[in-house]
Structure 1
Amino acid sequence: MRITFLGNGDSMGTPRVYCNCSVCEEARTSGGNIRLRSSLWLEEEGQPPLLLDCGPDWRAQMELLGIRQCQLGLMTHAHFDHIGGLTEWADACRWRLETADIHAPRDVLNDIRARFPWIERQLTMIPNDDGMSYGSWRITPWKVNHGKNGFSYAYLFENEVTGVKWAYCSDSISLTDGQKAPLAGLALMVLGTSYVEEQYPMDTRSVYDMKEGLQLADEVKPNSVIFTHLSHDVDVNTDYSLPAHVKLASTGMQVHI
């Protein structure tokens, strides 16, 4: 499987319109810190590409890929930064006289229907509460704490031939022991860490910070870690002395599993 990071930003992206911090200003000039909302493009031989989350930067992300068609999607939860591009995707399908399939747990699909009650004319919604197959991979969702924002879903990808596993957990914090269990034995953990070290009270927070992400990685011990869902607190020009197996996601980054 080839994994391409279409976006690595938090809900506001970087630069933030209202902000003049050094990271946002750098993003407006040299651009190293420009961040679109978090999304992945997954490719498996013999299968149509699979879009993981479809935020409001979907159009720009498709243009960066040079892609004119998207047939298959996988959603983690129904917050706008993860589903805001569905209306443009649906409209693209309308113009192409086609439909596409969206997979997500049933409660996520119900939230999408409530927000966009017309969208099933073009996007067929398929519950995946019991998991789904994608080529040689078994994809299984599990519910995770999303702090003050309620809950999200993470996804475990397990190759049914080789047994290799990786996981995508973009929006979570304070995982319980049960929620951490699927993270054991991973080749790769993609984890959302919005801040380097977030100073706000825990009851106001919704995503791990990098310090906490490193602690989680020490506990579950994946072979490699990529931090995504980064806010304007994170500067790519700063050396955070991360361990060799831990990296920050960047737009266009590709990983092969």
Structure 2
Amino acid sequence: MPSRHNLPSPQIIELLGSGTSTGVPEVGCYCRTCLSLDPRDQRTRTSVLVVSPAGKRILIDCSADFRQQALLAGIDHLDAIILTHQHYDHIGGLDDLRTISWRTELPIYAEPNVLEAIKSRLHYYFGPHRYPGTPHLTLHPISSLEPFTLYDLTIEPIRVMHGKQPILGYRIGSFGFLTDLKSIAPEELEKLRGVELLFVNGLRYTKPHPTHQTIEEAVELTARVQPQRSYIIHLSHHAPPTAELQERL
């Protein structure tokens, strides 16, 4: 593979959602973050849209809030989707793709176990008699060990641990994306060296979580990678309101 520093990077990176699996505000909660009137504290679940230099639109994770995110961002078509893992907050929006891909095929790239979970949960998409109106999704297995080419971009998977569950992050040129990370091996962290922009998960401040980094752990990891810019994503309502969080950081 050519040097990571020389690979094409996305032309546009649009963060569609930055919240954890329950979103912020959380249903039934009246904490100060959930009651905040600051629109920055209204976080849909994490997903990001990247646009390649050739104009190809690639979605990283299809959150359960995809419909709302697509309407706000003006998304009327996608060229591909890459998934980090099969938890509902990262694939729950796949059913909302029917209005933009029921006539044309939309490729989805993920590890084999993730694709099997999709086939099981959305079995009416893939049987011999596909339910009318469902999206045309084509499933493409990828390996954590091998970069792959998607249109004019090279996608490099990065193995991270979501507690005890192995999932994927990604590097695309000078952009790195890590979500639901709890730990990462040194050789996988090395794949992020030289990124200019890093999105990295941080659930809450100091109280440890068994499957997610805290904000403090996210800051420490960012210091090891040393990107030019980094943004903390996958935030929960246990994180301080945005104004306070910015002061702390």
Q: What's the TM-score, normalizing by structure 2?
A: 0.84
Match of 1:207 in 2: 212
How many positions carry a matched residue from both structures? 228
Q: For 1:151 and 1:90, locate their aligned partners in 2 and report how far apart those are by CA, in whole Å.
A: 29
Q: For 2:122 and 2:245, locate their aligned partners in 1 and report how far apart those are by CA, in whole Å.
A: 42
Deviation at 1:239, TM superposition (A): 4.5
Determine which of 172, 184, 200 is the counterpart of 2:181: 172
Deviation at 1:132, TM superposition (A): 2.1
Q: For 1:103 and 1:127, locate their aligned partners in 2 and report how far apart those are by CA, in whole Å.
A: 6
Deviation at 1:73, TM superposition (A): 0.9
Consecutive unaligned residues in structure 2, runs of 5 or more: 1-10, 131-135
Asked whether the 8 Å contact 1:193–1:210 carries over to 2, the reply is: yes
DSSP-derived class of the 1:24 partner:
coil
Asked whether the 8 Å contact 1:105–1:141 carries over to 2, the reply is: no
DSSP-derived class of the 1:107 partner:
helix
Deviation at 1:81, TM superposition (A): 0.3
Root mean square deviation, CA, Å = 1.9
Consecutive unaligned residues in structure 1, runs of 5 or more: 159-164, 244-257
Deviation at 1:91, TM superposition (A): 5.4
What do the CA deviations read for 1:33-74 (whole angstroms, capped 9, x no partner)?
100000011112324211111011010011001222233211
Asked whether the 8 Å contact 2:59–2:78 carries over to 1, the reply is: yes
What do the CA deviations read for 1:189-222 (whole angstroms, capped 9, x no partner)?
210111122x24x5xx211111111111222222
Deviates more, 1:166-175 or 1:232-241: 232-241
What do the CA deviations read for 1:117-164 (whole angstroms, capped 9, x no partner)?
23345111112323322344210113211015x122111112xxxxxx
Q: For 1:78 and 1:87, locate their aligned partners in 2 and report how far apart those are by CA, in whole Å.
A: 14
What do the CA deviations read for 1:82-140 (whole angstroms, capped 9, x no partner)?
0000112135423xx22211111222212222222233451111123233223442101
Asked whether the 8 Å contact 1:13–1:231 carries over to 2, the reply is: yes
Match of 1:250 in 2: none
Give 1:124-135 correspondences, 5 Å limit: 124-129=138-143, 130-135=146-151
- The amino acid of 1:155's aligned partner reads Y
| Percentage of matched positions with identical amino acids | 27
> Given the alignment of the two structures, is residue 84 of structure 1 paired with residue 95 of structure 2, yes or no?
no
DSSP-derived class of the 2:235 partner:
coil
Q: For 1:176 and 1:46, locate their aligned partners in 2 and report how far apart those are by CA, in whole Å.
A: 33
Deviation at 1:240, TM superposition (A): 4.3
Match of 2:168 in 1: 153
Q: For 1:184 and 1:30, locate their aligned partners in 2 and report how far apart those are by CA, in whole Å.
A: 34
Asked whether the 8 Å contact 1:47–1:134 carries over to 2, the reply is: no
Determine which of 153, 156, 159 is the counterpart of 1:143: 159
Q: For 1:67 and 1:10, locate their aligned partners in 2 and report how far apart those are by CA, in whole Å.
A: 22
Determine which of 93, 107, 116 is the counterpart of 1:110: 116
Q: What's the TM-score, normalizing by structure 1?
A: 0.82
Asked whether the 8 Å contact 2:61–2:84 carries over to 1, the reply is: yes
Match of 2:133 in 1: none
